[in-house]
Amino acid sequence: MPKEEIMAMLLAGGKGTRLGVLTKNIAKPAVPFGGEYRLIDFPLSNCSNSGITTVGVLTQYKPLILNSYIGSGSSWDLDRNDGGVTVLPPYVKEGGGSWYKGTADAIYQNIEFIDLNDPEYVLILSGDHIYRMDYSEMLAYHKSKNSEVTIGVLEVPWADTNRFGIMNTNEDQKIIEFQEKPEQAKNNLASMGIYIFNWEQLRKYLIAEAEANNDSAGDFGHNIIPTMMDDKINFYAYKFEDYWKDVGTIESYWQAHMDLLGEKPELELQSRNWMIYSVNPNRPPQYLAESAQVNNSLINKGTQVMGKIIDSVLFFGVKIGRDAVVENSVILPNTRIASGAKIKNAIIGSNVIVEKAAQIGQEAANNEITVIGDDEIIPANSNIKAGMVVG
């Protein structure tokens, strides 16, 4: 009998180049989100809520903050004597060592770790998507279809199909063709980067790919899945119909925060039915001065507001001065915005100081996003034009 029926391998080593200055000093899955979370909180919470208690987190780029944040895994109830969460950076083996070349190569380099846990199934996840999902339901579907590979999919706008791996299916949801970021898509069912594999099967393909082709990109989408498709392995699509967002660009990161606002937000972070857990130390309550005006915004604990906040998300430790106006913006932790400053359609990084009467993104058109990187100082009375990146 396997020690675990299923375990998860969470790919968290991405550099996140499309997020620009937001990932200058940290791995993409460690980027703050939603006032008090980081991106990696979502897949880790999904695992915990789904009853998956053995999770390997594969790190590589700028891992220190992420490693420290995960710690023992106690925040997600993953600090177990058997299983639990394990951080897996690249390491030197008998024949040497190398960086993870791609998603599949990262799993290949950790075959020994998976074998130690001896699972029947392996769940492969990305560490940088925003969603709630019960992986146990996906596993039940995988078994009911007698599938060897099940891929989580969702419908995307046809105009976006060239950004994703696209699945063409028959009436039974069996995948009959896979198109990796096609120019002319035949379907709009996009891969979510969520896979369930029968471990014995996947193990053989990972070893064969590594031994046969040193020039391989070591990627699931480019290498392993097409080879399996050629061999007529049983592939099925598991259709997901709830909220899911790939926050890999500045625009999608900003939009995902705007999706948290309103009377009926597209994503509810505080649902008691499916908690999103985080490393969230005790902080004092929000302080709203008599001069503060807050409209349709998410204000986290440990913030101080004396100005006007409209349609925005403020993280812990943020201070907003008197007569300052923040609109349609995301303000990351411990940033200070002085009196009279005006910010619109912007993402302001952590530990930023915006001095008196500075203006950021005030002439924004067509939802241009202005971005200020971590630790920057914006001088008094300066004007940062819409769409600019500082940092």
CB half-sphere exposure, 109, CA atoms < 13 A = 26
Tokens encoding 111: 């075959």
pLDDT, residue 1, reads 39
Closest CA to 14 of 130, 102, 87, 85: 102
Cα–Cα distance for residue pair 342/360, rounded to 1 Å: 6
Range of weakest confidence among 68-72, 266-270, 288-292? 266-270
In this structure, of 87-96, 152-161, 211-220, the range with the lowest mean pLDDT score is 87-96
**pLDDT digit string, tens, across residues 230-262:** 999 999 999 999 999 989 899 999 999 999 998
What are the residues whose beta carbons fall under 8 Å from the beta carbon of 6, sequence distance 6 or more?
Answer: 52, 119, 120, 121, 122, 123, 135, 139, 196
- 208: which residues sit within 8 A by CB, 6+ positions away? 227
CA distance 17 to 21: 8
Q: Using CA atoms, how far apart are residues 339 and 100, in angstroms rounded to an integer? A: 47
Q: Is the pLDDT of residue 92 over 60?
A: no
| Residue stretches of the annotated binding site for alpha-D-glucose 1-phosphate | 100, 165, 180-181, 191
Choose among 30, 32, 61, 28: nearest CA to 350: 32
Report pLDDT digits (tens) over 152-183: 999 999 998 998 889 999 999 999 998 888 89
For residues 6 and 119, give the distance between their C-alpha atoms in angstroms, rounded to a whole number. Answer: 5
3-state SS assignment for residue 158: helix
- Cα–Cα distance for residue pair 55/280, rounded to 1 Å: 21
294-350 pLDDT per residue, tens: 999 999 999 999 999 999 999 999 999 999 999 999 999 999 999 999 999 999 999
Examine the pLDDT at 17 and tell me if it is beyond 80. no
Give 317 or 97, the one with higher predicted confidence.
Answer: 317
Cite the annotated binding site by residue number: 100, 165, 180-181, 191
Predicted confidence at residue 2, as pLDDT, reads 47
Domains with residue ranges and CATH for the chain? 6-259 (3.90.550.10), 287-385 (2.160.10.10)
Query: How high is the pLDDT of residue 237?
Result: 97
pLDDT of residue 93 exceeding 70: no
274-284 residue pLDDT tens: 999 999 777 88
pTM recorded for the entire structure: 0.92
Query: How far is C-alpha 1 from the geometric centre of its chain's CA atoms?
Result: 33
Q: What is d(CA 323, CA 362) in angstroms, rounded to the nearest whole number?
A: 15
Question: Is the confidence at residue 97, as pLDDT, over 80?
Answer: no
pLDDT band at 101 (very low <50, low <70, confident <90, very high): confident
Going from the C-alpha of 245 to that of each of 65, 85, 136, 205, 341, the distances in angstroms are 23, 24, 21, 30, 31
The span from the CA of 330 to the CA of 297, in Å, is 10
Mean pLDDT calculated for residue range 17-44: 90
Which backbone phi and psi does 298 adopt, to 5 degrees?
-110, 110
